[in-house]
Amino acid sequence: MTVPVGLNVWSRLVEATFPYFDRTVGPFDSVWLPDHVQYNGHKVAEGWTLLTWALARYPDKTCGHEVLCNSFRNPAHTAKMVATAQALSGGRVILGIGAGWNREEYLAYGWPFPPTPVRIAQLGEAIELIRRLWSDSPASYAGEHYRIADAHCEPPPVPIPPIMVGGHGEKHLLRAVARHADWWNYGFTEHDLYAHKQAVLRAHCKEVGRDYDSIVQVVRVGILIAETEREVERLKTAPGVRPMSDIRLAGTPAQVTETLQRIVRQGAQRLTVNFADAPRPDGTLLFAQTVLPWL
């Protein structure tokens, strides 16, 4: 069993993000960044700035977002930014993108916050527009929400980055995955629910004429790991550790390995992981030493 494993960080780490990565990212396949401007009063770091810094700082890593909020940026501008980053990085960019969800930051920053089906429709158009800009020069596109006219995106991205759509809403979001995504980014909670979401995506693929197996499944897992079960229990309430409401996998290296291997057997082709005790590196380093070799 061999599966690429990327390292993700919580958006609220801000100044600690890159000192943490510097100590931990070496054995991981890729680096994954968040995209928020604010939520619940926490300090958070802006996503595109994080990505460009990561591409420059870690020249051996593929980098992407889990995931960009489509609403925050004009999609034509997003296409241009990705193309530029792809050229400067030598082809190491993944475009992870989603429809957005956090009403607080939309209202605070003055972005319209339409209903979920509208935001997902906007996401679908954005992906169509981005692909058009990456393939045609000049490019034109006229949709209900976005339009461009004789737009140039030079140089075009080489290679064309995979477009990864994040989310799990069954009626609208997974249909958008079926129609538009190269990769699907799913946040793991438990095995049965993952299997159910896969079945929903498979049904949407059948309806739109898409090969379900052509979509790469990227599963994101929040992890609390320690050498013993007693230490796992102690860490669950330790200061500076992420609340267990955010963590779906807590256990010893053997327990974590077993769960991740089962996720891969269910169909995950890539994994991304973030750790409850970050920016403390202990859990991440233990995972790299004891779990990564089994993946």
- How far apart, in Å, do the first and last CA atoms of the chain sit? 6
Question: Which residue, among 47, 76, 79, has the nearest Cα to 63 in the 3D structure?
Answer: 47
Q: Residues 21-40: what's their mean pLDDT?
A: 95
Tokens of 259: 């769960």
Beta strands in 9-81 (DSSP E): 30-33, 62-65, 68-69
Task: Output the pTM of the full model.
Answer: 0.96
Helix (H, G, I), strand (E, B) or coil at 140: strand
pLDDT at 278 over 90: yes
Of how many residues is the chain composed? 295
pLDDT for 12 equals 86
Residues forming a β-bridge with 95: 163
Work out the angle between the directed axes of helices 191-208 and 173-180 (0-180°, nearest 10).
60
pLDDT for 49 equals 95
Least confident stretch, 40-49, 73-82, 132-141: 40-49
pLDDT for 246 equals 86
Give the pairing type, strands 147-151 and 139-142: antiparallel
Phi/psi zone of residue 110: left (φ > 0), alpha (ψ -120 to 50 degrees), beta? left
Model pLDDT for residues 145-191, shown as the tens digit of each residue: 999 999 999 999 999 999 999 999 999 999 999 999 999 999 999 99
pLDDT at 40 over 90: no
Model pLDDT for residues 240-262, shown as the tens digit of each residue: 999 998 898 999 999 999 999 99
Higher pLDDT pick, 131 / 14: 131
pLDDT for 245 equals 87
Question: Which residue, among 8, 147, 7, 10, has the nearest Cα to 76 in the 3D structure?
Answer: 147
Spatial separation of the C-alpha atoms in residues 69 and 63, rounded to whole Å:
16
Confidence of residue 42 (pLDDT cuts 50, 70, 90): confident
Spatial separation of the C-alpha atoms in residues 116 and 167, rounded to whole Å:
12
Question: Which residue, among 118, 4, 127, has the nearest Cα to 76 in the 3D structure?
Answer: 127
Phi/psi zone of residue 167: left (φ > 0), alpha (ψ -120 to 50 degrees), beta? left
Burial class (CB in 10 A: 0-12, 13-18, 19+), 237: exposed
Phi/psi zone of residue 193: left (φ > 0), alpha (ψ -120 to 50 degrees), beta? alpha
Question: Which residue, among 230, 220, 213, has the nearest Cα to 260 in the 3D structure?
Answer: 220
pLDDT for 41 equals 83
Q: Residues 194-213: what's their mean pLDDT?
A: 98
pLDDT at 1 over 80: no
Confidence of residue 4 (pLDDT cuts 50, 70, 90): very high
Give the pairing type, strands 139-142 and 5-8: unpaired
Q: With contact defined as beta carbons under 8 Å apart, do 169 and 189 qualify?
A: no
- Please, what are the domains in the chain? 5-294 (3.20.20.30)
DSSP state of 39: B
